Chain A
């Protein structure tokens, strides 16, 4: 395998893995902050215990997000040095601001929150977790500003053999990020809401610690209903926007080879990328046009026409991304999203009629739906990033021009294998701890019990 392919796999694996931990951080920090705020305002200790319980799970998850995030920052220079040279003038700035404005904030105030329960006044302590929540969501904004430049370059000029920034404000108001940021953050809220609902459902099923988990469920339910509806709405407008901004990505997402007016929507398709056809399709007439333009008329460009247009502007070469992965990850995301909307609405209905706890099947569905937002998040990113191919910076730099020329395939293979193994082992430890603490529940407070073994501890096991 060549260095380029290995570098792409490495970036894909480490990024997808990193983003397993990020969304929960975005949403759960807000939920914990809300719980603690209620505690501060009412003095009700149950909310304090809830904040501590969910805060513990937050931390186990946060640690993984932090350490895998460091890899992301180093990656650009290590594996993608020519990319870094080409866009560093623009791309480096949001990364640096992210560290300066957001990472310092979240890490410092998380330390204060964690160790400051007895050292800070109540209100100040609650303010700390709000700052953590603000910091994590702010960091999402900056990294998405960087990502949006790769999707839709703005505020730059090509000079000195690279892209140079001409308008910082244009980067911040990139239309791409104005859709992507709310979509991502809301997806994080959905993830956290279903995480809290799922674990609460587990305790409601077992009839254990009903009070804190009813309250947790209620807060998460409100967040889940609102954010799962909003994330779909934003996603819809984002899709409409992408039809004009990144038509190739959307055509691949629909596996639409030929331009059509009006264009049908394929619910399922067997894509044959070699012959550039779908050997089998289930489609609904004109629905793709409707989704794109809110009207049953209107032409949606197909992959073949877009390829011809791209060749006309950028010269010979293939400009079509891998169609089947984009097509199927889009569908996976949408189906997962619809399932979450239905489940949260139905739960709301039962909750309002006080019948949720009589429905073990629904509670079980909620528990088993904890992974569903993760599937949707991953699928969404796969669609966004694979759909960008063959460009690393849309229209400006192709992936093969971006990889580090001095790093051998053997070196990348070594690190790829090592990261994958390490990440695999850590995932097991992480899930083990999350499950252990989730099961224990709210009431058992001491997080750390000392081992009574003075003089017996040895480093070498």
Chain B
């Protein structure tokens, strides 16, 4: 296969892995203040993702790094173009990351509440903004003939892209609820289930509306595969909701995860072979071929990726195995 195509797929896979993994830990952060009624419960909720969240976040860093290495023009146009949106994501991730470590290190109630609030906000903003960013990617943004973004922050906000953000926010929050139902103990799974059922209803509505609007706002359905993936995501989501209502948490988690993966596949499949769609002139859209690195660099990176990614998957998978037990408030030490 053409290495340029391979790397487009790899970047898509890294984003899919990022959304799949960090999706649930954003969701857990968002649900924290609502589901955790006592300090112990909140700590249990945080500890359910404690060993994982940092490793999950590296998927985002790796996706960004891979984009930089394999498609420098994509990285440059996207990151300078979506400037303030990415800035907000950065601020959120900073507050979120330190909140994990700082929260329990002081016993004042205001201190802990403050950092819980930061965890909530720091999870909510990226969950929303990544959806907005992805919707903009397929809808198209003002890219000029010199590969530069020629709009402002507010050009990124339209009913369609905000709906995209809402959908990702709901999908991730639902995934968080499903994760908590699986991984916590005592009363928390029941509470997570109740929350998941409510959020799930909203998620189905948002995703359905997003799919319908995508026919008008984007061209991703002109090919069959992205179309199948997109509608498949909705089917997976409906099944996840049904499994949740019949208390089959594991299956629900996997199927909602599948919905996230299929949604990402539809996105990148619809984008291909473009990486930035220009709303000013289709001729100015950036394709993988214009944006890519040299064949030599792609070759080096391919060797590196195919050596290291399997190892990473192995030890990350092992972590989930080590911490497979439910986290309960009464036996917390850290």
Q: Nearest Cβ distance between residue B24 and chain A, in whole angstroms?
A: 15
B316: interface (CB < 8 Å): yes
Which B residue sits closest to A14, measured CB to CB? B90
Given B37, B87, B296, B304, which contacts A457 in the complex, CB threshold below 8 Å?
Answer: B37
Query: Is B323 touching A168 in the complex (CB atoms < 8 A)?
Result: no
Q: Nearest Cβ distance between residue B59 and chain A, in whole angstroms?
A: 9
Given B77, B96, B316, which contacts A81 in the complex, CB threshold below 8 Å?
Answer: B77
B2: interface (CB < 8 Å): no
Query: Is A120 touching B322 in the complex (CB atoms < 8 A)?
Result: yes
Residues of A within 8 A of B90 (CB): 70-71, 74
Query: Is A77 touching B76 in the complex (CB atoms < 8 A)?
Result: yes
Q: Give residues 77-112 of A contacting B (CB, 8 Å).
A: 77-79, 81-82, 84-85, 87-93, 95-101, 103-105, 107-112
Residues of A within 8 A of B80 (CB): 77-79, 81, 404, 406-407
Query: Is A76 touching B68 in the complex (CB atoms < 8 A)?
Result: yes
Contact with B along A312-337 (1 / 0, CB 8 A): 00000000000000000000000000
B294: interface (CB < 8 Å): yes
A60: interface (CB < 8 Å): yes
The bracket for how many chain A residues form the interface is 35 or more
Which A residue sits closest to B296, measured CB to CB? A165
Residues of B within 8 A of A70 (CB): 57, 61, 90, 93-94, 97
Which B residue sits closest to A77, measured CB to CB? B79
B253: interface (CB < 8 Å): no
B254: interface (CB < 8 Å): no
Residues of B within 8 A of A1 (CB): none
- Distance in angstroms between the alpha carbons of A120 and B321 in the assembled complex: 12
Q: Give residues 18-34 of B contacting A (CB, 8 Å).
A: 33-34
Given B33, B55, B105, B329, which contacts A447 in the complex, CB threshold below 8 Å?
Answer: B105
Given A88, A111, A164, which contacts B75 in the complex, CB threshold below 8 Å?
Answer: A88
Which A residue sits closest to B42, measured CB to CB? A457
Q: Give residues 137-176 of B contacting A (CB, 8 Å).
A: 147-150
- Distance in angstroms between the alpha carbons of A291 and B100 in the assembled complex: 48
Residues of B within 8 A of A426 (CB): 94, 98
Q: Nearest Cβ distance between residue A66 and chain B, in whole angstroms?
A: 6
B84: interface (CB < 8 Å): yes
Which A residue sits closest to B52, measured CB to CB? A111
- Distance in angstroms between the alpha carbons of A299 and B87 in the assembled complex: 49
Query: Is B68 touching A100 in the complex (CB atoms < 8 A)?
Result: no
Given A164, A448, A460, which contacts B104 in the complex, CB threshold below 8 Å?
Answer: A448
A42: interface (CB < 8 Å): no
Residues of A within 8 A of B47 (CB): 115
Q: Nearest Cβ distance between residue B184 and chain A, in whole angstroms?
A: 15
- Distance in angstroms between the alpha carbons of A374 and B307 in the assembled complex: 37
| Given A60-B101, A114-B50, A114-B51: A406 and B333 interface contact (C-beta under 8 Å) | no
Q: Give residues 40-81 of A contacting B (CB, 8 Å).
A: 59-60, 62-64, 66-68, 70-71, 73-74, 76-79, 81
The binding surface of chain A is classed by DSSP as helix
B91: interface (CB < 8 Å): yes
User: Considering residues B43, B65, B112, B149, which has the most beta carbons from chain A within 10 angstroms of its beta carbon?
Assistant: B65
Residues of A within 8 A of B70 (CB): 92, 96
Given A76, A115, A422, which contacts B91 in the complex, CB threshold below 8 Å?
Answer: A422
| Given A71-B90, A433-B106, A461-B113: A99 and B75 interface contact (C-beta under 8 Å) | no
Residues of A within 8 A of B316 (CB): 104, 108
Query: Is A84 touching B75 in the complex (CB atoms < 8 A)?
Result: yes
| Given A92-B75, A406-B80: A453 and B101 interface contact (C-beta under 8 Å) | no
Query: Is A100 touching B62 in the complex (CB atoms < 8 A)?
Result: yes
Query: Is B114 touching A461 in the complex (CB atoms < 8 A)?
Result: yes
B185: interface (CB < 8 Å): no
Show the binding face of B for A, using Cβ within 8 Å: 33-34, 36-40, 42-43, 47, 50-52, 54-55, 57-58, 61-62, 64-70, 72-73, 75-81, 83-84, 86-87, 90-91, 93-98, 100-102, 104-107, 109-110, 112-114, 116-117, 120, 147-150, 293-294, 296-297, 300-301, 304-305, 308-309, 312, 315-316, 319, 322-323, 329, 332-334
- 15 new A-B contacts, CB < 8 A, other than A88-B76, A103-B61, A112-B319, are A63-B101, A79-B80, A84-B76, A88-B69, A92-B70, A93-B69, A93-B300, A100-B62, A100-B65, A115-B323, A405-B148, A406-B80, A447-B333, A448-B332, A457-B37
